[in-house]
Amino acid sequence: MRPLRHRRLTAVVTLATLLITAAPPAAASASAKPDRQPGYHRVGYFTQWGIYGRAFPVKKLDTSGAASRLTHVNYAFGNISEDGRCYVDGGPGEGDAWADYQRPVPAEESVDGVADAPGQALNGNFHQLAKLKAKHPQLKVLISLGGWSWSTYFSNAARTDASRKAFVASCIDLYLKGNLPGAPGAGAGVFDGVDLDWEWPNWDGEPGNVIRPEDRENFTKLLAEFRRQLDAYGRTTRSHHPLTAFLPANPAAMDAGFEGRKIFTYLDFGTVQGYDFHGGWDARANQQSALRVPAGSPDNPDFSVEVAVDGWIARGAPRHKLVLGIPYYGRGWTGITGGGNGLFQPATGPAPAAFEAGYEDYKNLKKLTGNGYAVHRDLRAGHAWLFDGTTLWTYDDPAVVLQKTLYIRRAGLGGAMIWSLDGDDDNATLTKTIGLGLTTW
C-alpha cells in the first residue's frame, strides 16, 4: 500500500488537474497552441532585509530544499541614485551595505558551515549567494533594481541615450563585475544578470516617484541598452547574462508604461504581478491573488491572474516569456461584518500582523488553520481564504499554488515567480509544490 501522504498528494494533483482542465479558458489563454521552450523558470525573490526579523539567511534556501527547486534567485533590491546610477550605501533609507556584503556571517548561518572572517573582501548575503551557486550550479542569481521603494529615479536613469548608457554601465560594473565600494572585483561572479523592477513607468507608484510621459518609450530603450551592454560583457565572460523585468497586473499600467511586444525583444522573460489585487486599503475583504475573477465580485472590472496574463498576451507578449508571480503571503482585514464566509463583506481596516498590518507570511497563516479560523475555497476562481468571523486572510496555500502551476502548463507560460522566499515555511512547502507542478517529465 502506498503511504497515506503519497495518496493524499496524488488526490490533490488529480483534483487540481480536473479543476484547471474543466474550467473554460479566457479567449487569449485559449487562442493558440502554446509557443514555449522545454523547461520552466522557477524564480524566487530573496529579500535583503529577510535576515533580520524573519531570520531568513541564504542558508535556508539550501537546508529547506528550496534552492534545488529554483532556476533563478532575484536579490531585492538595488538602488538608483538621483543622477541615475546603480549604487549601494549604508545610509538610512538608502541601502544596507552591511547586509549586502560587509556582515561577517557566522558558521551556523553559512551555506557551507564556514564563518566569514571580519575584514575579508566579500562577506554578507553576496558571499553566501556565491556559496549557494557553488553548491547548486543550476542557479542564476540576478540583482533586482528598484522595487516599490527604490523606483524613485528610474525615469532619470532612462531619460536620454547618455543617461541610459551611464546607468547600465554603472550597474554592470557594480554588480556583475563586482566592483563594490572599497573592494574592487570582490563581488565578481555573484550576479549573473539583471532584473528591472520599475514600479511603474509613466504610472503612479510610491509617492515621490519621478514620472514622465516618455517613460513608456524610454523603458524599451533602457532594455535595449541593457541587452547591448550585457551581451558585450558576455563576450568577455563567454556567458549569457539574463535580463528580466517585473510587469504589472493592471491593464491601464501596461498601456501607460510598456510597449507590449517590443520589450520582449530584449527580455529573457517578464514576471507578471499575480497578487496585490486587493488589500487592507480596500473597505471590504476581497481576494488578492485569485486565478479568475470570483463570481459575485463587487468590482467590475476586477483583477485576477487570468486578467493579467491575458492582458499581456493581447498586447503581444510571447506566452513562453511570461512568468506568473505567486505570493508567499496573504492580505488581511479585520472588523468584518455582514456574516457568511467573510468574503466581500465590509471591514474596519487591515488585520494586525507580525511586521505590517494587513500583510502576513504564509508560514504564519498556515498556523491559523484549526485555531479559530476555517479554510474557505472557491475552486472555480482558484483562491482560498481564512475567516474566524471577524478577521479574514486571503492567501495561496499548496492546493492553490498547485492549481496555478497547472494553469501555467496549460496556458503555455514560462514558469512561476515567488514573492518572496522568506514567507515559506522551514520545509519550503510552497516552493516544493511549484517544483512538483512544473516538473517536466
DSSP letter string, 2-33: --HHHHHHHHHHHHHHHHHHHSPPPHHHHSS-
- 428 is a domain residue: yes
Pairwise CA distance, residues 418 & 224, whole Å: 26
- 268 is a domain residue: yes
What pLDDT was estimated at residue 37? 46
- 80 is a domain residue: yes
**Where in the sequence is the domain holding 430, given as residue range(s)?**
36-272+318-328+397-437
Q: Residue holding cell 492582458?
A: 311
Q: Is the dihedral of CA 421, 427, 433, 439 positive or negative?
A: positive
- 286 is a domain residue: no
pLDDT per residue rounded down to tens, the chain (441 residues): 334 343 444 455 445 444 433 343 444 444 334 334 459 999 999 999 999 999 999 999 999 999 999 999 999 999 999 999 999 987 776 789 999 999 999 999 999 999 999 889 999 999 999 999 999 999 999 999 999 999 999 999 999 999 999 999 999 999 999 999 999 999 999 999 999 999 999 999 999 999 999 999 999 999 999 999 999 999 999 999 999 999 999 999 999 999 999 999 999 999 999 999 999 999 999 999 999 999 999 999 999 999 999 999 999 999 999 999 999 999 999 999 999 999 999 999 999 999 999 999 999 999 999 899 999 999 999 999 999 999 999 999 999 999 999 999 999 999 999 999 999 999 999 999 999 999 986
How many folded domains does the chain comprise?
A: 1
Q: How far apart are the first and last CA of the chain?
A: 24
- Annotated catalytic sites, by residue? 199
Cβ pair 253, 203 in contact under 8 A: yes
Pairwise CA distance, residues 431 & 105, whole Å: 25
What pLDDT was estimated at residue 1? 38
Q: How far is CA 47 from CA 54, 117, 198, in A?
A: 10, 23, 17
- 372 is a domain residue: no
Pairwise CA distance, residues 316 & 260, whole Å: 6
Q: In CATH, what number is assigned to the domain containing residue 149?
A: 3.20.20.80
- 281 is a domain residue: no
Which residues have C-beta within 8 Å of that of residue 231, sequence separation ≥ 6? 241
Q: Residue holding cell 495561496?
A: 396
Q: Is 74 helix (H, G, I), strand (E, B) or coil?
A: strand
Cβ pair 421, 328 in contact under 8 A: yes
CA dihedral 247, 437, 275, 195 (to 10 degrees): -30
Q: Is the dihedral of CA 144, 146, 150, 156 positive or negative?
A: positive
Burial class (CB in 10 A: 0-12, 13-18, 19+), 282: middle
